[in-house]
Amino acid sequence: MIGATPPTSQELTRSSERLSFIYVEHSVIHREDSAITATDTQGTVHIPAASLGALMLGPGTRVTHHAMMLLAECGATAVWVGERGVRYYAHGSSLAKTARLLQVQADKVSNVRKRLEVAREMYNMRFPDEDVSELTMQQLRGEEGARVRRIYREHSERTGVAWNSLKYDPNNFDGSDPINKALSAAHACLYGVVHAVVVSLGCSPGLGFVHTGHSRAFIYDIADLYKAEITIPASFEVVAESTEDIGPRTRRAVREKIKDGKILQQCARDIQKLLIPDQIEENEWYAEVLSLWGENGELLQGGQNYGGESA
Classify residue 122 as exposed, middle or buried by CB count within 10 Å of its CB (0-12, 13-18, 19+).
buried
224 is in an annotated binding site: yes
Angle between helices 178-200 and 263-275 (to 10 degrees): 60
Taking the C-alpha atoms of residue 232 and residue 150, their distance in angstroms, rounded to an integer, is 12
Angle between helices 100-109 and 263-275 (to 10 degrees): 60
Please spell the DSSP secondary structure of 39-52, one letter per residue. EETTEEEEEEGGGE
144 is in an annotated binding site: yes
Give the chain's length: 311
Alpha carbon dihedral 61, 239, 186, 158, in 10-degree steps, equals: 170
Taking the C-alpha atoms of residue 34 and residue 234, their distance in angstroms, rounded to an integer, is 33
154 is in an annotated binding site: no
Taking the C-alpha atoms of residue 97 and residue 101, their distance in angstroms, rounded to an integer, is 11
Q: Which residue, among 202, 287, 272, 196, has the nearest Cα to 10 in the 3D structure?
A: 287
Tell me the binding residues.
144, 211, 224
Tell me the binding residues for Mn(2+).
144, 211, 224
